[in-house]
Structure 1
Amino acid sequence: MTREDSVPGLADTRHSWLRHPMDNPRPHRRRNLVLGALAGLAVVGASAVWLGRSAPEPVATRCTPGRVDPERLKAHVRTLSETFQPRDHAHPENLERAASYIADALARAGGRVRPEPYTAGGKSYRNVIATFGPDGGERLVIGAHYDAAEGAPGADDNASGVAGLLELAALLGGNPPPMRVDLVGFTLEEPPHFRRGTMGSKVHARALRTRGEAVRAMISVESIGYFSDAPDSQRYPVAALRLRYPSEGNFIAVVGQGDDKALIDTVHRALRAAKNDLPSESLAAPRGLEGVDFSDHASFWDEGYPAVMVTDTALFRNPHYHTPQDTWDTLDYARMARVVQGLQCAVEALVTPTPTSQLPH
């Protein structure tokens, strides 16, 4: 997960307060927090459809997810965050090693794996795509970026998402879906490529649109391993959200735009249908609200595809975000395993939609 550091006109206004505290002049931080709070209050007051929780009942899907081993998740995260370091844009050799590791794991799970190579700044990079289920027809895309911010091991952001993707692959390999599901490891999500045409998810979404591929939905698996039961461990981009959401960072969130509320509700209900006691919340909000578009799902919005992010909220919870302290031993793998089970239930709900959860195509 990342913030915008490169788009002119945004880096010094809408996203500036999210940088490291040492990077922010105090007056600018105060001004933007005040403006953000006012904007959030305006959103809350305007419409409950744009901003709010999905109704927890009824759960539209019956789901019995497979077992997910927390130790396997830990092994993936530790390998990605320790062995293939650094994993930033300036070290394509390590990104290539990580891509090979991901491709091997996806192939062992039974996926039909292929690379999606491209060049950026004169260097070679690749997305890794694994297909489960039929080859043709409409598809579901689930992706996680495997690069990390410069100077960070990137355990939560986003080795956790990749580990979840690999364990989801093992579940899908043992029970192939009736509709095509593509699991994709994206490269170059972090600055300086974030929101540029060289971002891995932009390359992939643009190629899908160019070929006219039908995508039922996309889920970005973004930072899913950090949880805390401590009071006030959860922060929000605007103060108004504290009135609606928990103060403890012990839940997983489904985040998207108001236009994708049907998809948000379907994924949220599927997470609850996993019945593994992991709390979940959902947010349907305008794209301008801080954090709503901070990952690969936004690349699919840009191409007109419905998409959501499943996340532990990253920088709004994890104090190690984009620092050298974002290490494998800071994550909660038992709760992370429950997230993966919820993702399996989300796949089941999305590939066999019911009349109560029809999605835009």
Structure 2
Amino acid sequence: MIGAGAVGAGTAWHLARQGHNVTLIDPSLDAPIQRSISRIQAINGTTASLGVLMGNVFRRSSGRAWRLRQRSMELWPQWVERLNHPDTPLQLDTPLIQLASSPLESERMQSLAKQRSELGLESFSAESTAFQQTSDPLPWPNPGHGGLLSQNDGRIDPLALQRALRRSLKTQQVCLIPARVTQLHRPNPGDGDRWRLELDTGHNTHCHFVVICTALASALLLQPLGHEFPMEAVLGQVLDLQVTAPAQSWDHWPAVLVCNGVNLIRHGSDRLWLGATLEPGEEPSAEEASIMRRLDGLAPNWLQQAEVVDQWHGLRARPSGRPAPLLEVLEPGLILASGHYRNGVLLTPATADWVGQQMMNTTKIQAP
């Protein structure tokens, strides 16, 4: 396994539980799991994410993207149960609420709720919003449009997930190598028909299967082998806000509140994460962060007046000319599971399940 974000580490854990001998390679494996305090340098992968799980509120009802989301939402409760440990607690936080920004969007949400009531979706009017049941609710814009409540969507803390996976990988005796893979070499008889991986430490390692989960760095490993999978960086900024509001106003705040595509996540008694922007390139824009904070004119006064106490930005890998994610068996023993764009944490269980199926199918074909 190359890459130790949620997808890479989660897939390594899943494969080890299936009985495979797994080696996970990533230069970050000897670093503490935390967000950098620097606002200048981008945070890559899972660490930069908010861990939002939007599986059941996905607008499409067919196709690969829908199937992957549904498979992940089916598997996540099982994963959380198995990964949760007193030393590395992990939980699935629910529910998720989407606010409608217009009457038309409200109608679409009502239709979706009727189609997926069995998945825990229900629409609501302004008078019945789950977070406005207190005597002193937080004021919110456009209350006449209502929204959509998803009982089973929500979020998983990405840092807690990484810590839980790291502990479980060690329990499963996965070999962890803190290094960067610089080049891949196809199998040959001299290597025992195994792939040879060159590391930046000057050492080599060998394996029968290579699973690439390195986001933007994936293309660099694949190009010398003749595989072209270009990806572009899409930057996302997150603001950590301190808000002034009565304590009881937070009593019914959901795990995730979504307004105009922006996630608002409460943490602590008076803190809120607001994210994330969608910016091309690798340099954050102060203007984009300001636009996000206004929520396209829908932000209430208390949100606009909140103090920014911290912020960070990260880079997502979006495939160029192909739908995300990239899940392909490129040649015998070489599997690509990367380019998840904004859904790395969400699709981790489904991706791990898919990789396991590909390896099992290959093993069956090769068996005498």
TM-score normalised by L of structure 1: 0.25
Bigger Cα Rg: 2
Whose helix fraction is larger, Structure 1's or Structure 2's?
Answer: 1
Q: Which has the higher strand share?
A: 2
